[in-house]
């Protein structure tokens, strides 16, 4: 309806104009080189309009002929870009499908048609990597890294290559460059954290740790790697603050306090930790400065005062009491060891201790009693130790990274799987303190 109204309006204007033009009176004459042309005014105006229209068409034709080479060039460029885009899409599909030869053919065609754009360089690098040409892919990623707007994509490709060949120093260098381009990128933060762990840069790993990461373990590792005593002490204090019951953190803090000459404070830290979470390594560090059995026993009593009935406290005192070697101390060692076993410490180390007590008890032991105790030890629970919670590998001491599975911060204190349980479960559980 709107189109009809516009047409009628245009027709009315044309008819009105023609009516007005026909109503004009007078004549127009022109003399040129002795020739005179006379015509009515309406006809003269109509002739002038026709001439102007003709000139406009002629000028358009002339300019069109002059622009013809450029138009042809633009048409060919559009065709080339269309063909290049098609080749680029086909290359992307081939890369996704894992068709190595097709990917390289299409990426080469796209580069020939479009040049080295961000897309063609990225596709060519991925195609080269897919085909196993890592050096060629690295050169293309490096070229892409120099691109004004797509440098991050090239750096990410270089980072991935460094990661795959486990060149952690190169990965860290590339990650720094990428961080400058896109600070705070979530992907980059996680990858930088992992590289920091792999390279042993524990302070950076601590700074980049995501929520839920074992920051106390990172802090302890940073303490072990920090040459400056004051900074190491501050890191150890932070580790204990983050996780007061994390035994390696307590040990690191107490050790640094002892190195700083603050023995009383170190003993206080160890005793408070024993009250919360008794652990053999706490006793080893607390008693390290003493060699005489009697002195060690007295210091152990001070250590366990905050939690004296815990099985670990009873076992520690039983062990040290046996070392004193007197008739009374051997009897006390038996009482304490039996109390530890009754308290739930049904482990092989308790039975070995009882066997040693039987052997040292010159008043009532028989030759068969130690053997019977050792036989019971074979059926008891395994002794606890440091064990990776991810792969189950046991370790002689705590480590920040499991050498077997390379997992960081997952080595905890627990017991190995008892041999009797192996046949009844595929993935045996283990305790972790």
Residue-wise pLDDT tens digits, 12-47: 776 676 666 666 666 667 676 667 777 677 776 677
Residue 58 has pLDDT above 80, yes or no: yes
Q: How far apart are the first and last CA of the chain?
A: 84
Beta partners for residue 385, in sequence order:
414
Query: What per-residue confidence (pLDDT) applies to 23?
Result: 65
Residue 45 lies in a domain: no
In a domain, 391, yes or no: yes
Q: With 0-12 CB in 10 A as exposed, 13-18 as middle and 19+ as buried, what is 15?
A: exposed
Does some domain include residue 406? yes
> Cβ neighbours of residue 87 under 8 Å, at least 6 residues apart?
106, 107, 109, 110, 113
pLDDT 10s digits, 172-199: 888 888 888 877 677 777 888 888 888 8
Mean pLDDT of 113-117: 88
Residue 420 has pLDDT above 50, yes or no: no
Q: Taking 60 as the threshold, does the pLDDT of residue 145 lie above it?
A: yes
The whole-number average pLDDT for the span 308-326 is 94
* Beta-bridge partners for 414: 385
Q: Is residue 390 part of a domain?
A: yes
Q: What is the pTM of this model?
A: 0.66
Residue at 404 is within a domain: yes
DSSP annotation string for 253-297: HHHHHHHTT-HHHHHHHHHHHHHHS--HHHHHHHTTT--SHHHHH
Kindly state the percentage of the chain with pLDDT values over 90. Answer: 35
The pLDDT tens digits for 364-398 are: 555 556 667 777 767 788 889 999 999 989 999 99
User: Could you give the number of structural domains in the chain?
Assistant: 1
- Which of 61-65, 318-322, 340-344 shows the lowest per-residue confidence on average (mean pLDDT)? 61-65
Tell whether 396 is covered by a domain: yes
Residue predicted with more confidence, 433 or 106: 106
Domain span at residue 408?
386-422
Write out pLDDT tens, residues 91-103. 889 988 888 899 8
What pLDDT is recorded for position 249? 95
């Amino acid at each position: 309806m709107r189109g009809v109204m516009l047409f009628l309006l245009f027709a009315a204007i044309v008819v009105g104009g023609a009516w007005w033009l026909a109503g004009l009176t007078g004549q127009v004459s022109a003399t040129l080189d002795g020739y005179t042309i006379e015509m009515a005014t309406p006809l003269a105006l109509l002739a002038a309009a026709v001439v102007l229209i003709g000139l406009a068409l002629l000028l358009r034709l002339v300019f069109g002929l002059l622009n013809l080479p450029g138009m042809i060039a633009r048409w060919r460029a559009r065709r080339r870009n269309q063909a290049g885009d098609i080749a680029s899409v086909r290359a992307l599909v081939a890369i996704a499908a894992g068709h190595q030869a097709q990917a390289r053919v299409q990426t080469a065609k796209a580069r020939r048609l479009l040049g080295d754009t961000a897309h063609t360089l990225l596709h060519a690098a991925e195609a080269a990597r897919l085909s196993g040409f890592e050096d060629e892919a690295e050169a293309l990623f490096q070229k892409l890294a120099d691109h004004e707007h797509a440098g991050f994509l090239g750096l990410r490709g270089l980072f991935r290559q460094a990661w795959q060949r486990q060149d952690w120093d190169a990965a860290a260098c590339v990650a720094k460059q990428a961080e400058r381009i896109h600070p705070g990128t979530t992907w980059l933060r996680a990858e930088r954290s992992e590289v920091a762990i792999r390279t042993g840069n524990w302070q950076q790993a601590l700074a980049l740790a995501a929520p839920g990461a074992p920051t106390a373990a990172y802090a302890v590792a940073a303490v072990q790697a920090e040459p400056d005593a004051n900074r190491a002490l501050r890191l150890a204090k932070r580790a204990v603050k983050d996780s007061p019951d994390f035994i390696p953190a307590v040990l690191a803090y107490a050790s640094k306090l002892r190195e700083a000459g603050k023995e009383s404070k170190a003993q206080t830290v160890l005793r408070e930790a024993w009250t919360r979470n008794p652990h053999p390594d706490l006793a080893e560090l607390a008693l390290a400065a003493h060699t005489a059995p009697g002195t060690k026993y007295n210091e152990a009593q001070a250590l366990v005062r905050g939690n004296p009935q815990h099985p670990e406290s009873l076992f520690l005192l039983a062990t040290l009491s046996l070392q004193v070697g007197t008739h009374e101390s051997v009897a006390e060692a038996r009482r304490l060891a039996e109390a530890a076993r009754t308290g739930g410490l049904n482990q092989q180390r308790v039975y070995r201790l009882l066997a040693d007590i039987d052997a040292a008890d010159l008043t009532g032991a028989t030759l068969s009693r130690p053997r019977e105790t050792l036989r019971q030890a074979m059926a008891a629970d395994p002794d606890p130790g440091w064990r990776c919670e991810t792969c189950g590998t046991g370790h002689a001491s705590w480590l920040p990274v499991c050498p077997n599975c390379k997992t960081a911060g997952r080595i905890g204190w627990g017991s190995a799987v008892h041999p009797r349980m192996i046949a009844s479960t595929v993935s045996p559980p283990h305790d972790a303190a």
